[in-house]
Structure 1
Amino acid sequence: MRWWSSLVTTGREGLRVQRAFASPSAIARAVLDVLLATALGLLLDNPVAGAMASVGAFICGIGTLLSPLRHRVVNALGMAAGFSVMAVLGALVLGTTWLFLLLLAVAAFAAGLWRTLGVAPGIRGCLTLIGLMITADLAPDVRGGLVMAGWIATGTGFVVVVQLLPPYGPRFATQRRALAALYQSLAQASVTAGSAALGPSAPFTAARQALDLLPQFSRPAAAALFGLLGEAERIRRALQTVRLTVPAPAAAGNQQALAAAGEALDDISRTVASGRAHRTPEEVWTLLESWAADSPVRGPRDLAARLQSAEQLARRTTDDHLGDVLEPHTEVPGLYAGTPSVARTARRIRAQLLPQSPIFRHAVRLAVGVVIAEVIGRSIGGWGGLGISAHGFWVTLTTMLVLFPEYGHTIARGWGRAAGAVLGGLLAWVLSVPHWSPAGLAVVAVLLAAASFLTLRTGQLMLNLWLTSWIVFLIHHVGGLPGPTAWARAADTVLGAALAVLIFLVWPTWSTRRLPGLLAEWLRVQDRLLPELLTGYADVGATDLAALDKLRARSRQVREHLEAAAKQSHAEPAQHRGSWSTAQMEQISTQVSTVAGCATLLREHLPRTPQDTVPELTELADPLHEHLAALARAAAGAETVAPGALRSMFDSCTARSGLPAATSDGSRSAATSHAVALSAATVDAVEALTATIAARHRPRRHAAA
């Protein structure tokens, strides 16, 4: 039953048509690329030149429409170079099947590892392999393959040149998009009722990675953008403090003020994204200032101040002020620091070279899959004269683009590509009935390419409908093949999709089975982080802040992996074999977020003066360490932990030291009271997570290390 439910769910997802499009200017550039390549073929009266240049322009055009991390010209240049080099290599290994299959496997493995950088870079890596397969599979001989590679490179050159055309948009467009999405997520978090739980950390990671990609010489001009990243982190902490410390009687006014804060954050987001100032109404700032002035706690004052600072920095990002020198006191984290992007990328990829890494297993699976698909594609011949014999290009292409590291994406893409290819084959067969002149053929080919660009992000069904129609209409008409060859392409696609699904099921990477290990890993990080934070309240500077920030960064990374795996596990048929159901895992994810939020607040409110120290809290460090270590083993299935013990220890500790009485009669400072409240909230959050793991966890026979 679970398998059938999974197939229905993923099938419905694969056939779903989304309303997601690239920017109109990016689509127009991609269409212009194909138009120029097609016009070149008409002017030279060379169908092969027009077809190969169109293929180069089309594939690289798709690469420019995927979510870019760098400047659009840099993305286009990278795609053009990679695709052209692969096309040349394919021509050079033509006729040496074993060498071609070896090169294909190595390139596919590298493309699978490139998935470490994200979905879009991973797909770009796979797209470059198409150049290798085109010339190695379709070229008549080595010389003909090199000629084809030359025309492909010409088409990719059109892509690079067209990226230089207007409209240009604001400077640092990629970084602006990431920061705008970050502030939009903060705006949504400010109006969402809840506890001090952290919101998703993915927008912070995306913004940080986008800014890290900037070269050192351009960072001073982007100083305001770096400043906005720092302010976003402070705003998140202030929002957590407000939700945790504002008294209940002020809840109504608190919600009204948070709604105003959300409006201000939304305006900041629009200013950063567009490069034009979107001013927040004065009554919003008046409300926030009044709320901060009337509040007896620190949180509202911090939030109002941080919003004002972010609004000023957002104005600095407008076209009129970008590059202005900031005041000396303005904190701009990461402006001149940071590892060069090449070294950072190499380090991230090296970290995946482990047998237990899902990305490594995906890369190996992809390498094996494309080789098997190529062998099968060459073995089936030409489908009774309908296809091109002795080549496996289309089967291999489909297998490569369907195989993803996750089960849900793989199955959904298999459904979508297969269904789209069948419908596209039908459309291509209809279009092959009339007799087309060279000009008519060029016009229809450009229109089909434009439809493919337009539907690129709408789902695999619509994309492959137009993609199959375009490739069949263009390549097969150029080769003089009959109209029914459209069905051979559809058959290749169905076979490639089925092969990809089968390969995944033979060697799967179930996200469900990774959840206990990821949760245990995150708890081990907390086992080091939370006791260190409590020790920091013993004295000013009692703990190493740099080491704390490294632990917090590691905690954030593991939590992102945990959240992603939990989301991916929902579609898996193996989910019923996991330690937790979907609802239970969602509860654990929320509690993990709450604990992470408490850790952030403990770090934010470490003592700055001797009067703010609370040395009594250090007594809780060892019990918390022991509890978290045991909880990590329980999450991995090695033992169970009874809830309530940590809270009892905290109560006895605070009672013995006199902290409850001190905080209630006002004999201690507000900072001390706040530190005790944060510690109590942290203990409660850990206890809630303990109760969920203890109540829901299914003991395993084998303990996980």
Structure 2
Amino acid sequence: MTWFRALKETARSGLTVERKRLEPLIALRGAAGLAIVIGVSLTLFGPAVAASSAFGAYQAAIATFQRSWRPRPELALASGTSLALSTFLGYLTASHTLLFLALLALWAFLSGLSWAAGPTIGIIASSNVAIMLVTVTLPGSLADAAGHSAMMVVGGAIQAALAVLFPVRRWGAHRDALADALAAEADYARRLRHDPLADFDPEPLMAARDAATVTPRQARTRPAELHGARGLAERIRPVLASLADPAVGVPEEGPERDRVREILAAAGSILDAAARAIRHGEPVKIPPESVATLKTPDTGSILTGPAHRAARRLAALLRDVVETAGKPPEAELEPEREPEPEASPDAPKTPTEPTPTQPTQPTPLLRPTFPALFPAALRAMRAELSQGHASPVTRHAIRVTAVAAAGYLLGTWLPLGHGYWAPMASVMVMRPDFSQTYSRAVARFGGTLVGVALATGLVQLAHPDTGLSAALAIFSAGMMYLLMRTGQVAAQACVAAYVVFLLGMGGEQWTQTVPERVVLTLLGGVLAMIAYAVYPAWETPRLRNRLAAWLVADGRYAAAVVGRYADPVGKSCPDVRGALLAARDARIAWQEATARAKHEPVRHRGLSRAAAADAEETLAQLGRVAMLMEAHLPDRDATPVPAAARLAETLRKSTEEGAKAVRERRIPKWDAVRKALDEWDGEGVPDRVVRRGAGLLLTTLEELSDALDTTPPPMLVDGSQTASQTASQAAAQTDNGPQDPKGPTAR
């Protein structure tokens, strides 16, 4: 992407106003907390203290809007307290330019590094630095500074108290995360009806896992329907894929496939009903036709073997989901037991699937307490620092420090007054990635122009006094709380108006603040954009490393699954679960990286967009095949498969070597995996599902090599294929027996 197109796209993104679900009650609560703080401060201390303390309550309310699973009162208290500390220390050094500049540089560097601990902490820290530049100018003495800081703490405490006393949709975000996961699986079930190899993005399941990680206090008050449904959703996904996949399920066409399509449609309807019930906290309303589909005894006469067991297991899991979501136990979904046909003595033994029992109370995933966050944040920041310039977070911290110091010096040197607007704008718009920094810079300037124009016109018409200015400031803040999810430009317009009215409450005329704010906001945004262009942290050159990390994670997951066929331990395998979560994290990291790289004005440098897309699809299929094999893990009393242990070790080593080849821009080779499979065939195959899955693993790895091989194929003079190509295609068709062209790995 060229620079012109990148700037055009980021500008359009920054100026876009999206249609989002508004939360007026939460916005009203934040505005009410701000009104209480301003009213008390005006009555007891005067306009200066009111303006300063208002920033504490204002920022604390913004903290409660962040996408964090921590309790909202904790976020409000942390925001108000940290802003008070920053303001007090800033005031102590404000009279000495060099000393204050050193403190500003230190605070800016730490705020940049704080992004290593998560976006919520990064946003709060950046806002504290930006607001400190304004609040240090308000007190007139050390005692006043202490009073202003104390009122900021009070503002955060008031917002926290309102969040406790007037909760809006308590556990609403957690309900939405779990409901989104179930709805994603419902959509997955419906897509499997038409595409048995459909991909599933694990992001909703990972978000639900994050939401299910609660503090010990939250664990004691969490609603019952939020306890076990996520774990059931995790178990449903591989069963759905196993039921639909032609390799281990039923043929692609015929009465068995028709029956599977009916079961998948019923599963989608039931999962949707459970998602709606959990989202709104109401009983589950199951469509009767879906229940009839799952309870019909015809399933046992149509489906046999692994497909029949998968259908029974799916019905049992859906029953548990419905009961967990709030349906009385009489909603029986599992069909009546059908007598299993007697197996031939020579038939291979297939592991059985135990019927799930009544869901038990799972052990909650615990989040560290608030004091325990500090050592964890310090460890994360130290880890980023240890990477030096290779870390995007460290580069962001250096950029923020340089821009904040340069903006403060330029603002002080320019004969405009209120020089803090420039560094304030820079710190507020800068983010660790390119697209957000540039889009926020454009949005902040555009929103500032709109907000300042509206506020100025209103001031000229109404000539508000202190009380009316305070009311207008509260109204502007409330509108910002209401519209902040719709886009940056709308939120920044409300912020600009809020600051004009708030400073007007303190006695400053609009003619003293508006021109300087517009010019210096533009200067701060330009400085932020120049800093990223001069000292960037491009994601595009790191895509190969991200892809290699995903390959290693998928390889370890597949190796952990295959290894359990050599050492059967039943369905509870912590090593497999840990490898699965690591593979999901690597996939999400890759998706986020490609999304950021898409908008960067940088050449691909060895990994084209098409190759990246093909490699992503192939690695997703590798994880899907491993998941299919996980769905058929053997019971404890199953016969071990010694060859699986050698294959697992080979997979682990080969994918690590393949990842090294990806980083070095070479094509991975999988000869060792092919050799291990040949040795396995020589020893005999006890289970066709296991061997077929192992063969699919090799096929997907070879497809990954094909996706990364961007050299044009050699052609004969007449345009026909070479003999080696013809031979390789013939070998691929005969590998593991004849396969249909629309087999399990065809797309």
- TM-score interval for Structure 1 and Structure 2 normalised by the shorter chain: 0.7 to 0.9
Which residue pairs with 1:656 in the alignment?
682
Question: Equivalent residues in 2 for 1:86-125 (5 A)?
Answer: 86-125=86-125
Contact 1:91 1:149 in 2 (8 A): no
Contact 1:395 1:496 in 2 (8 A): yes
Query: How far is the alpha carbon of 1:115 from its aligned partner?
Result: 2.3
Q: Are 1:588 and 2:594 matched, yes or no?
A: no
- In structure 2, how many angstroms separate the alpha carbons of the residues matched to 1:206 and 1:217? 17
Query: How far is the alpha carbon of 1:123 from its aligned partner?
Result: 1.4
Question: Equivalent residues in 2 for 1:181-200 (5 A)?
Answer: 181-193=180-192, 194-196=195-197, 199-200=200-201
After superposition, the Cα gap between the structure-2 partners of 1:109 and 1:5, relative to the gap in structure 1 and judged at 3 Å, is same
Contact 2:212 2:365 in 1 (8 A): no
- In structure 2, how many angstroms separate the alpha carbons of the residues matched to 1:146 and 1:622? 63
After superposition, the Cα gap between the structure-2 partners of 1:476 and 1:411, relative to the gap in structure 1 and judged at 3 Å, is same
Which residue pairs with 1:303 in the alignment?
314
Contact 1:242 1:299 in 2 (8 A): yes
Residue type of the partner of 2:446? A
> Which one is further off, 465-474 or 648-657?
648-657
Contact 1:34 1:54 in 2 (8 A): yes
CA RMSD of aligned residues (A): 3.2
Query: How far is the alpha carbon of 1:603 from its aligned partner?
Result: 3.3
C-alpha distance after superposition, 1:341-368 (max 9, x if no partner)? 7268445555434323322332333233
Query: How far is the alpha carbon of 1:138 from its aligned partner?
Result: 4.2
Contact 2:441 2:525 in 1 (8 A): yes
Which residue pairs with 1:314 in the alignment?
325
Question: Equivalent residues in 2 for 1:238-277 (5 A)?
Answer: 238-244=239-245, 245-247=248-250, 248-249=252-253, 250-277=256-283
Query: How far is the alpha carbon of 1:309 from its aligned partner?
Result: 0.8
Residue type of the partner of 1:470? Y
Query: How far is the alpha carbon of 1:570 from its aligned partner?
Result: 0.6
- In structure 2, how many angstroms separate the alpha carbons of the residues matched to 1:532 and 1:485? 63
User: Paired residue for 1:281, among 272, 282, 287?
Assistant: 287
Which residue pairs with 2:495 in the alignment?
467
Contact 1:257 1:287 in 2 (8 A): yes
Query: How far is the alpha carbon of 1:544 from its aligned partner?
Result: 11
- In structure 1, how many angstroms separate the alpha carbons of the residues matched to 2:141 and 2:557? 62
- In structure 1, how many angstroms separate the alpha carbons of the residues matched to 2:422 and 2:615? 41
Residue type of the partner of 2:614? Q
- In structure 2, how many angstroms separate the alpha carbons of the residues matched to 1:495 and 1:253? 65
C-alpha distance after superposition, 1:34-80 (max 9, x if no partner)? 22234335545822233223322222222222223222222222222
Which residue pairs with 1:320 in the alignment?
none
Q: Are 1:371 and 2:399 matched, yes or no?
A: no
After superposition, the Cα gap between the structure-2 partners of 1:500 and 1:205, relative to the gap in structure 1 and judged at 3 Å, is same
Query: How far is the alpha carbon of 1:252 from its aligned partner?
Result: 4.4
- In structure 1, how many angstroms separate the alpha carbons of the residues matched to 2:540 and 2:550? 16
3-state secondary structure, aligned to 1:67: coil
Paired-residue identity, %:
25
- In structure 2, how many angstroms separate the alpha carbons of the residues matched to 1:28 and 1:519? 45
After superposition, the Cα gap between the structure-2 partners of 1:483 and 1:191, relative to the gap in structure 1 and judged at 3 Å, is farther
Residue type of the partner of 2:682? R
> Which one is further off, 208-217 or 417-426?
208-217
- In structure 1, how many angstroms separate the alpha carbons of the residues matched to 2:610 and 2:26? 40
Residue type of the partner of 1:581? S
3-state secondary structure, aligned to 2:136: helix
Query: How far is the alpha carbon of 1:130 from its aligned partner?
Result: 3.7
Which residue pairs with 2:67 in the alignment?
67
Which residue pairs with 2:359 in the alignment?
330
Residue type of the partner of 2:232? E
- In structure 2, how many angstroms separate the alpha carbons of the residues matched to 1:221 and 1:145? 41
Which residue pairs with 1:39 in the alignment?
39
After superposition, the Cα gap between the structure-2 partners of 1:267 and 1:77, relative to the gap in structure 1 and judged at 3 Å, is farther
After superposition, the Cα gap between the structure-2 partners of 1:651 and 1:67, relative to the gap in structure 1 and judged at 3 Å, is closer
After superposition, the Cα gap between the structure-2 partners of 1:295 and 1:452, relative to the gap in structure 1 and judged at 3 Å, is same
Which residue pairs with 1:214 in the alignment?
215
Contact 1:183 1:266 in 2 (8 A): yes
Question: Equivalent residues in 2 for 1:456-605 (5 A)?
Answer: 456-476=484-504, 478-483=506-511, 485-541=513-569, 545-574=573-602, 576-605=603-632
- In structure 2, how many angstroms separate the alpha carbons of the residues matched to 1:508 and 1:546? 40
Query: How far is the alpha carbon of 1:420 from its aligned partner?
Result: 1.2
Contact 2:557 2:579 in 1 (8 A): yes
Unpaired runs of at least 5, structure 1:
318-326, 660-667, 698-705
Contact 2:567 2:640 in 1 (8 A): yes
Unpaired runs of at least 5, structure 2:
329-355, 713-747
Contact 1:47 1:478 in 2 (8 A): yes
Q: Are 1:403 and 2:402 matched, yes or no?
A: no
After superposition, the Cα gap between the structure-2 partners of 1:410 and 1:631, relative to the gap in structure 1 and judged at 3 Å, is same
After superposition, the Cα gap between the structure-2 partners of 1:177 and 1:109, relative to the gap in structure 1 and judged at 3 Å, is farther
- In structure 2, how many angstroms separate the alpha carbons of the residues matched to 1:512 and 1:470? 39
Query: How far is the alpha carbon of 1:253 from its aligned partner?
Result: 4.2
Residue type of the partner of 1:180? A
- In structure 2, how many angstroms separate the alpha carbons of the residues matched to 1:45 and 1:89? 21
Residue type of the partner of 2:303? S
- In structure 2, how many angstroms separate the alpha carbons of the residues matched to 1:109 and 1:255? 56
After superposition, the Cα gap between the structure-2 partners of 1:694 and 1:87, relative to the gap in structure 1 and judged at 3 Å, is same
3-state secondary structure, aligned to 2:384: coil
Query: How far is the alpha carbon of 1:173 from its aligned partner?
Result: 4.1
C-alpha distance after superposition, 1:259-309 (max 9, x if no partner)? 332222222223223322232223222223448644321333222221211
Which residue pairs with 1:424 in the alignment?
451
C-alpha distance after superposition, 1:297-338 (max 9, x if no partner)? 133322222121111112189xxxxxxxxx996355543777
Contact 1:421 1:464 in 2 (8 A): yes
Contact 2:104 2:405 in 1 (8 A): yes
User: Paired residue for 1:673, among 657, 676, 688?
Assistant: 688
Contact 1:528 1:625 in 2 (8 A): yes
After superposition, the Cα gap between the structure-2 partners of 1:380 and 1:183, relative to the gap in structure 1 and judged at 3 Å, is farther
Query: How far is the alpha carbon of 1:457 from its aligned partner?
Result: 1.2
After superposition, the Cα gap between the structure-2 partners of 1:168 and 1:410, relative to the gap in structure 1 and judged at 3 Å, is closer
After superposition, the Cα gap between the structure-2 partners of 1:522 and 1:94, relative to the gap in structure 1 and judged at 3 Å, is same
3-state secondary structure, aligned to 1:540: coil
After superposition, the Cα gap between the structure-2 partners of 1:651 and 1:407, relative to the gap in structure 1 and judged at 3 Å, is same
Query: How far is the alpha carbon of 1:18 from its aligned partner?
Result: 0.9
Contact 2:130 2:428 in 1 (8 A): no
Instruction: Compute the TM-score of the two structures, normalised by the length of structure 1.
Output: 0.86
- In structure 2, how many angstroms separate the alpha carbons of the residues matched to 1:302 and 1:696? 46
- In structure 2, how many angstroms separate the alpha carbons of the residues matched to 1:696 and 1:431? 65
Query: How far is the alpha carbon of 1:16 from its aligned partner?
Result: 0.7
Which residue pairs with 1:54 in the alignment?
54
Instruction: Compute the TM-score of the two structures, normalised by the length of structure 2.
Output: 0.81
Query: How far is the alpha carbon of 1:423 from its aligned partner?
Result: 2.0
3-state secondary structure, aligned to 1:695: coil
Query: How far is the alpha carbon of 1:174 from its aligned partner?
Result: 4.3
Task: Please say which structure displays the higher CA radius of gyration.
Answer: 2
